[in-house]
């Protein structure tokens, strides 16, 4: 899921957040619900595919999301945390994101699968740079590239290179995905004190969080360019 993150360049140099920080379990829980939501979204979006190849590609991506969920479930069990109760506080915000960014076409679903997941990966993997190594390994493992991006890139580029209208529409779609993702991320942080504290610790201060969102926008622009949307 998503793309590799850029190196953290926050203005300050915060120390590593210990594995026992309560925000770590919250981090695992919000990512876990993200994986479940992504699974259902990909399975549903497969109906837009004009080909069997496309349906299989999205089904494979959905399968990877479930595998990641199981990794997080195990990590939370090791901490004595009941995963369903832990995920519940994040359901409303993440469901709201998907409800506000429901694709209406096959191409929109592909862009969301590639760009939307990349936005999440950029955010969480930057946080992982300042986490205990074992915790960071879990985060990076479940947010690593799933190997299906080449299919998405090929499908989208083939269309936008011959259709300026589709290109313009998908560029607007990509900007909407970024805006909605950042809005929901800010909402989640405002609603959960322990998770917010962990993010502040990893970023150094509020200015560091703002810088993180700025870097996410830069990475988003790069990812859109890979799709031919620039």
> For the segment 24-67, what is each residue's pLDDT rounded down to a tens digit?
999 999 999 999 999 999 988 888 899 999 999 888 888 888 99
Give pLDDT, residue 7.
Answer: 42
Cβ of 190: how many Cβ atoms within 10 Å? 11
Helices (H), 6-148: 22-45, 52-78, 83-100, 106-111, 117-128, 133-142
Give pLDDT, residue 125.
Answer: 86
DSSP code of residue 101 = T
pLDDT in tens, 198-208: 999 888 888 88
More confident residue, 125 or 31: 31
Please check the confidence at residue 14 and state whether its pLDDT lies above 90. Answer: no
**Which tokens is 182 given?**
């950042």
End-to-end distance of the chain based on CA atoms, in angstroms? 22
Is the distance from CB of 224 to CB of 230 less than 8 angstroms?
yes
d(Cα 24, Cα 179) in Å, to the nearest integer? Answer: 26
More confident residue, 8 or 149: 149
3-state SS, residue 7:
coil
Please check the confidence at residue 12 and state whether its pLDDT lies above 50. Answer: no
d(Cα 169, Cα 150) in Å, to the nearest integer? Answer: 21
Q: Read off the pTM.
A: 0.86
More confident residue, 30 or 16: 30
Domains and CATH numbers, the chain: 22-226 (1.20.1260.10)
Residue with the two structure tokens 């349906």: 55
More confident residue, 9 or 140: 140
Per-residue pLDDT averaged across 113-133, rounded?
A: 88
Provide CB contacts within 8 A for 137, sequence distance 6+: none
């Amino acid at each position: 899921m998503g793309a590799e993150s850029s190196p953290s360049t926050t203005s300050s140099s915060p120390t590593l957040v210990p594995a026992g920080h309560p925000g770590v379990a919250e981090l695992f829980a919000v990512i876990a619900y993200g994986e479940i939501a992504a699974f259902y979204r990909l399975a549903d979006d497969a109906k837009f595919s004009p080909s069997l190849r496309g349906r299989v590609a999205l089904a494979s991506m959905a399968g990877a999301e479930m595998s990641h969920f199981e990794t997080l479930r195990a990590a939370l069990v090791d901490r004595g945390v009941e995963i369903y109760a832990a995920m519940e506080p994040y359901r409303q915000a993440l469901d709201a994101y998907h409800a506000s960014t429901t694709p209406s076409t096959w191409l929109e679903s592909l862009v969301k699968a590639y760009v939307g997941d990349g936005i999440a990966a950029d955010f969480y993997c930057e946080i992982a740079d300042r986490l205990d190594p074992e915790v960071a390994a879990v985060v990076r493992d479940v947010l690593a590239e799933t190997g299906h991006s080449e299919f998405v890139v090929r499908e989208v580029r083939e269309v936008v290179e011959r259709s300026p209208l589709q290109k313009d529409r998908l560029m607007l779609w990509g900007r909407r995905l970024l805006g909605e993702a950042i809005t929901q991320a800010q909402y989640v942080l405002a609603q959960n004190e322990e998770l917010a504290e962990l993010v502040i610790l990893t970023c150094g201060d509020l200015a560091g969080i703002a810088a993180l969102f700025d870097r996410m926008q830069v990475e988003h622009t790069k990812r859109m360019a890979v799709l031919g949307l620039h």
